[in-house]
Amino acid sequence: MEKVEEFTIKVYSENHIGLLNRLTILFTRRKVNIESLTTSEYHIPGVHSFTIVINTTESMVRKITQQAEKLVDVLKAFYYHTDDIHYQEIALYKVPTAALTATNEIEKLVRRYNARILEVTPEYTVIEKTGHKEETQELLDKLQPFGLLEFVRSGRVAITKPMKELATHLREKEDATHFVQNGN
Protein backbone atom coordinates (compact mmCIF):
# COMPACT_ATOMS: atom_id res chain seq x y z
CA MET A 1 0.00 0.00 0.00
CA GLU A 2 1.34 3.38 -1.01
CA LYS A 3 1.93 5.96 1.67
CA VAL A 4 0.13 9.30 1.73
CA GLU A 5 2.49 12.24 1.31
CA GLU A 6 2.26 15.97 0.80
CA PHE A 7 2.68 17.04 -2.83
CA THR A 8 2.74 20.43 -4.50
CA ILE A 9 1.24 20.57 -7.97
CA LYS A 10 2.16 23.42 -10.30
CA VAL A 11 -0.19 24.01 -13.24
CA TYR A 12 0.71 26.53 -15.92
CA SER A 13 -2.10 27.76 -18.12
CA GLU A 14 -3.58 30.47 -20.21
CA ASN A 15 -5.90 32.70 -18.20
CA HIS A 16 -9.40 31.59 -19.21
CA ILE A 17 -12.68 31.68 -17.32
CA GLY A 18 -13.71 28.35 -15.81
CA LEU A 19 -10.29 26.72 -15.66
CA LEU A 20 -10.17 26.78 -11.87
CA ASN A 21 -13.51 24.97 -11.75
CA ARG A 22 -12.32 22.33 -14.22
CA LEU A 23 -9.12 21.86 -12.21
CA THR A 24 -10.89 21.45 -8.86
CA ILE A 25 -13.25 18.86 -10.36
CA LEU A 26 -10.18 16.66 -11.00
CA PHE A 27 -9.62 16.55 -7.23
CA THR A 28 -13.22 16.16 -6.11
CA ARG A 29 -13.82 13.24 -8.49
CA ARG A 30 -10.94 11.41 -6.84
CA LYS A 31 -11.95 12.49 -3.31
CA VAL A 32 -8.67 14.36 -2.79
CA ASN A 33 -8.88 17.45 -0.60
CA ILE A 34 -7.00 20.59 -1.63
CA GLU A 35 -5.05 21.84 1.38
CA SER A 36 -3.87 25.06 -0.26
CA LEU A 37 -4.42 26.78 -3.60
CA THR A 38 -2.71 29.91 -4.89
CA THR A 39 -2.90 31.36 -8.36
CA SER A 40 -1.08 34.27 -9.96
CA GLU A 41 0.45 35.60 -13.14
CA TYR A 42 3.67 33.89 -14.19
CA HIS A 43 6.74 35.73 -15.47
CA ILE A 44 5.99 34.59 -19.05
CA PRO A 45 3.37 36.96 -20.52
CA GLY A 46 -0.05 35.34 -20.90
CA VAL A 47 0.78 32.44 -18.57
CA HIS A 48 -0.75 31.92 -15.14
CA SER A 49 0.43 29.59 -12.40
CA PHE A 50 -1.64 27.50 -10.00
CA THR A 51 0.09 26.12 -6.90
CA ILE A 52 -1.97 23.35 -5.29
CA VAL A 53 -1.04 21.42 -2.15
CA ILE A 54 -2.58 18.00 -1.51
CA ASN A 55 -1.98 14.94 0.67
CA THR A 56 -2.29 11.74 -1.34
CA THR A 57 -0.32 8.87 -2.83
CA GLU A 58 2.21 9.36 -5.60
CA SER A 59 0.16 7.29 -8.04
CA MET A 60 -2.89 9.51 -7.39
CA VAL A 61 -0.98 12.78 -7.78
CA ARG A 62 0.51 11.43 -11.02
CA LYS A 63 -3.01 10.66 -12.35
CA ILE A 64 -4.32 14.09 -11.36
CA THR A 65 -1.35 15.84 -12.97
CA GLN A 66 -1.77 13.85 -16.20
CA GLN A 67 -5.49 14.68 -16.27
CA ALA A 68 -4.73 18.36 -15.66
CA GLU A 69 -2.43 18.43 -18.68
CA LYS A 70 -5.30 17.20 -20.85
CA LEU A 71 -7.41 20.27 -20.06
CA VAL A 72 -7.58 22.60 -23.05
CA ASP A 73 -6.11 25.74 -21.45
CA VAL A 74 -3.35 23.94 -19.51
CA LEU A 75 0.13 24.32 -20.95
CA LYS A 76 1.96 22.06 -18.51
CA ALA A 77 1.46 20.48 -15.09
CA PHE A 78 4.03 19.08 -12.67
CA TYR A 79 3.98 17.61 -9.19
CA TYR A 80 6.74 17.91 -6.64
CA HIS A 81 7.80 16.41 -3.35
CA THR A 82 8.44 19.02 -0.67
CA ASP A 83 12.23 18.58 -1.05
CA ASP A 84 11.99 19.64 -4.74
CA ILE A 85 10.73 23.17 -4.06
CA HIS A 86 11.29 26.35 -2.11
CA TYR A 87 8.03 27.56 -0.59
CA GLN A 88 6.50 30.03 1.82
CA GLU A 89 3.15 31.13 3.16
CA ILE A 90 2.20 34.45 4.71
CA ALA A 91 0.10 34.84 7.84
CA LEU A 92 -1.49 37.92 9.37
CA TYR A 93 -2.46 38.11 13.03
CA LYS A 94 -4.57 40.85 14.63
CA VAL A 95 -4.17 41.26 18.39
CA PRO A 96 -5.54 43.92 20.73
CA THR A 97 -3.04 46.77 21.09
CA ALA A 98 -3.74 46.72 24.82
CA ALA A 99 -2.23 43.22 24.94
CA LEU A 100 0.85 44.49 23.12
CA THR A 101 1.36 47.42 25.50
CA ALA A 102 0.46 45.54 28.71
CA THR A 103 3.60 43.35 28.59
CA ASN A 104 6.55 42.82 26.33
CA GLU A 105 5.59 39.17 25.61
CA ILE A 106 4.09 39.86 22.17
CA GLU A 107 7.14 41.91 21.22
CA LYS A 108 9.36 38.97 22.26
CA LEU A 109 7.26 36.59 20.14
CA VAL A 110 7.51 38.91 17.14
CA ARG A 111 11.30 38.94 17.48
CA ARG A 112 11.65 35.21 18.22
CA TYR A 113 9.53 34.22 15.20
CA ASN A 114 11.07 36.76 12.82
CA ALA A 115 7.69 38.36 12.32
CA ARG A 116 7.04 42.06 11.87
CA ILE A 117 4.47 44.55 13.00
CA LEU A 118 2.57 46.01 10.04
CA GLU A 119 0.26 48.45 11.81
CA VAL A 120 -0.53 49.68 15.30
CA THR A 121 -3.84 51.42 15.98
CA PRO A 122 -5.40 52.25 19.34
CA GLU A 123 -7.64 49.17 19.00
CA TYR A 124 -5.48 46.53 17.31
CA THR A 125 -2.04 45.60 16.05
CA VAL A 126 -1.40 43.61 12.86
CA ILE A 127 1.56 41.20 12.81
CA GLU A 128 2.91 39.52 9.66
CA LYS A 129 4.85 36.24 9.54
CA THR A 130 6.15 34.42 6.47
CA GLY A 131 7.33 30.86 6.64
CA HIS A 132 6.13 27.29 6.43
CA LYS A 133 2.68 26.39 7.73
CA GLU A 134 4.14 24.83 10.87
CA GLU A 135 5.94 28.09 11.72
CA THR A 136 2.91 30.31 11.18
CA GLN A 137 0.76 27.86 13.14
CA GLU A 138 3.21 27.86 16.04
CA LEU A 139 3.06 31.67 16.28
CA LEU A 140 -0.75 31.47 16.11
CA ASP A 141 -0.76 29.10 19.07
CA LYS A 142 1.52 31.47 21.02
CA LEU A 143 -0.66 34.53 20.29
CA GLN A 144 -4.00 32.88 21.20
CA PRO A 145 -3.72 33.65 24.94
CA PHE A 146 -3.39 37.38 24.19
CA GLY A 147 -6.94 37.63 22.83
CA LEU A 148 -6.26 37.10 19.14
CA LEU A 149 -8.88 39.07 17.19
CA GLU A 150 -8.29 37.69 13.71
CA PHE A 151 -5.99 35.35 11.79
CA VAL A 152 -5.56 34.57 8.10
CA ARG A 153 -2.98 32.48 6.23
CA SER A 154 -2.31 32.48 2.50
CA GLY A 155 -1.88 29.46 0.32
CA ARG A 156 1.56 28.20 -0.54
CA VAL A 157 3.72 29.97 -3.07
CA ALA A 158 6.50 27.82 -4.46
CA ILE A 159 9.31 27.79 -6.96
CA THR A 160 11.23 24.72 -8.01
CA LYS A 161 14.79 23.96 -7.19
CA PRO A 162 17.02 23.80 -10.30
CA MET A 163 15.09 21.84 -12.92
CA LYS A 164 14.09 22.28 -16.54
CA GLU A 165 12.23 25.59 -16.86
CA LEU A 166 8.68 25.89 -18.14
CA ALA A 167 9.88 27.86 -21.18
CA THR A 168 11.99 24.84 -22.19
CA HIS A 169 8.98 22.52 -21.86
CA LEU A 170 6.86 24.89 -23.95
CA ARG A 171 9.52 25.09 -26.69
CA GLU A 172 9.75 21.27 -26.74
CA LYS A 173 5.96 21.02 -26.98
CA GLU A 174 5.90 23.57 -29.80
CA ASP A 175 8.72 21.74 -31.64
CA ALA A 176 6.88 18.41 -31.29
CA THR A 177 3.65 19.95 -32.62
CA HIS A 178 5.54 21.51 -35.54
CA PHE A 179 7.21 18.14 -36.22
CA VAL A 180 3.86 16.30 -36.35
CA GLN A 181 2.15 18.98 -38.46
CA ASN A 182 4.92 18.91 -41.05
CA GLY A 183 4.85 15.11 -41.20
CA ASN A 184 8.54 14.71 -40.35
Tens digit of each residue's pLDDT (9 = 90 or more) over 45-97: 889 999 999 999 999 999 999 999 999 899 999 999 999 999 999 999 999 99
44 — pLDDT class (breaks 50, 70, 90):
confident
Task: Tell which of 44, 63, 85 closes a domain.
Answer: 85
| CB-based contacts of 89, cutoff 8 Å, min separation 6 | 36, 130, 131, 132, 133, 136, 153, 154, 155, 156, 157
CATH number at residue 21: 3.30.70.260
Please give the pLDDT value at position 174.
Answer: 64
CA gap 177, 184 in Å, rounded: 11
Domain housing 109: 87-157
Residues 6+ apart with CB under 8 A from 111: none
Beta strand 34-41 with 5-14: parallel, antiparallel or unpaired? Answer: unpaired
> What CATH number is attached to the domain comprising 94?
3.30.70.1150
